[in-house]
Amino acid sequence: MRNIKLTIEYDGSNYKGWQKQPTEISIQEIIEDAIFKITRDKVKLEASGRTDKGVHAFGQTASFFTNSDIVKYKLIRGLNSVLPDDISIRKVEEVNSEFHARYYAKGKSYKYIIYNSQVRSPIYRNNAYHVPYKLDMNKFRQNVNMLIGTHDFTSFTSIKEGTDNKIRTIYSIDIEQKNEVIELTFKGSGFLYNMIRIIVGTLVDVSRGRIKSNIEEIIDAKNRKRAGITAPSHALYLMEVYY
Amino acid sequence: MRNIKLTIEYDGSNYKGWQKQPTEISIQEIIEDAIFKITRDKVKLEASGRTDKGVHAFGQTASFFTNSDIVKYKLIRGLNSVLPDDISIRKVEEVNSEFHARYYAKGKSYKYIIYNSQVRSPIYRNNAYHVPYKLDMNKFRQNVNMLIGTHDFTSFTSIKEGTDNKIRTIYSIDIEQKNEVIELTFKGSGFLYNMIRIIVGTLVDVSRGRIKSNIEEIIDAKNRKRAGITAPSHALYLMEVYY
């Protein structure tokens, strides 16, 4: 059997997230249906990880096994011709049979976009988090630096999360600011459920003075209650999965 | 009477352009209605210029006369509370009685976003022009340079345009490329009807080899037929009006 890896872009606005669900429309289901239309093969897509309701991706990855002998360029064209406007396949690769989009992932990068202005933005309304408060950007940067490295991120994940090991490594967080728009790019070994959204919510709360502790103290507390709000999903983008 | 200048951001997707029309919904009408709701004054907004159906703005300007004595911060808050999600007022200023948003404008800047990839982009689908052809970016840059300066831009405007004087000055065109995204920022004394969209369409046609002449020859021809297609409106943003 062939093992096919897809690199996928999507606007998550209209979906209940990546993962297939009994009653709601998921991105996984839409792509599995498209693969069926093109190859007549009922496959199961294994993604690098779930993305939540509303989260977008420039470079989600997923793989599937198939007996179809369709050539790669016909598969990508075929899939993009039947997929809706808000999902596209950017790349099709044939990988060895051991490859698994989740277990083989060595790291990921995400982008989070903050729109920081008293006035709401019509143009950024669907893809950035509107923060109407004044932020102390020095404090913001100092606290961002405290996140880099290997830490137990228990304070920065939702209680629903079942995995025991909450230790993750953040390699870098780049901050790019252009007028009202603050783009944060996270690179790390992996991220816990809601981790980036809680980190962003906490950075905002700390930089506007709503939370008095700093990120280091909040990490040390290992307590979700010490962190800030979960920032909205529509401003989060899965950029790339590293193998 | 007070003369009030507004700086306005909008997502033009849902409107038939800036200018008030008898049967279609325009941005001008929506804002005039909002001003009436807040000040009870039926005003006529004078913009820096029309934007076409689908065109967006980060910094459109418009002014109006009013007898209302509402203070500026209440006016901006009031307007933003009654305006729809896709329009916002970014700034309210009181200007002298001679000020006119169009006649006083000394220049404008626009941004145009091209998405250059064989594969369509879900995330950029509503705000960039998808160009699936390979572009020769050296040729693109060379031809961009031929546009800078004062020229008769007859070849780059739609025939509908009535003004006799088609001489305009382009101060600069910045090209910022990041992977598939090419952002062009135009600064100039003013732009003719559809001028930027025809310039972009022509740059694309020249850089993909569909048009053999270069921009200099097309300018010299003073003939719309020698230029390329009119690139779509949804990728064009009025960034700033200079006074």
Each residue's pLDDT, cut to its tens digit, for chain A (243 residues) gives: 999 999 999 999 999 999 998 888 999 999 999 999 999 999 999 999 999 999 999 999 999 999 999 999 999 999 999 999 999 999 999 999 999 999 999 999 999 999 999 999 999 999 999 999 999 999 999 999 999 999 999 999 986 656 578 999 999 999 999 999 999 999 999 999 899 999 999 999 999 999 999 999 999 999 999 999 999 999 999 999 999
Residues of B with CB under 8 A from a CB of A: 9-11, 56, 58, 76, 80, 85-90, 117, 119-123, 125, 127, 237
Structure tokens at B159: 């025939």
User: Any residues with CB less than 8 A from the CB of B154 and at least 6 apart, and which?
Assistant: B166, B222, B223, B224
The residue to which tokens 């038939």 are assigned: B16
At residue A176, the 3 state secondary structure works out as: strand
At residue B161, the pLDDT reads 53
Our measurement of the distance from residue B105's CA atom to the centroid of its chain's CA atoms, rounded to an integer in Å, reads 14
User: Any residues with CB less than 8 A from the CB of B164 and at least 6 apart, and which?
Assistant: none
- CA distance to A97, A103, B21, B73, B104, per residue, from B49 (Å): 60, 56, 15, 25, 11
Selected residue of B8, B123, B180 to mutate for chain A interface (largest A Cβ count, 10 A)? B123
pLDDT tens track for B179-197: 999 999 999 999 998 999 9
List, in order of start, the domains of chain B with CATH numbers. Answer: 2-95 (3.30.70.580), 107-242 (3.30.70.660)
The residue to which tokens 């039926």 are assigned: B42
Predicted ipTM of the assembly: 0.89
Strands (E), chain A: 2-10, 46-47, 56-66, 87-95, 107-116, 129-131, 149-152, 167-178, 181-188, 236-242
Ligand-binding site membership of B15 (annotated): no
Label residue B200 by pLDDT band (50, 70, 90): very high
Label residue B158 by pLDDT band (50, 70, 90): confident
Q: What is the Cα gyration radius of chain B?
A: 19
Active site residue A52: yes
Question: Which of B87, B119, B122 lies nearest to residue A10, judging by beta carbons?
Answer: B122
At residue B163, the pLDDT reads 59
Query: So which residues of B are the catalytic ones?
Result: 52
Selected residue of A119, A121, A240 to mutate for chain B interface (largest B Cβ count, 10 A)? A119
A175 HSE (CA, 13 A, CB side): 17
Structure tokens at B187: 């600064």
- CA distance to A85, B18, B101, B193, B230, per residue, from B163 (Å): 40, 19, 19, 10, 19
At residue B41, the 3 state secondary structure works out as: coil
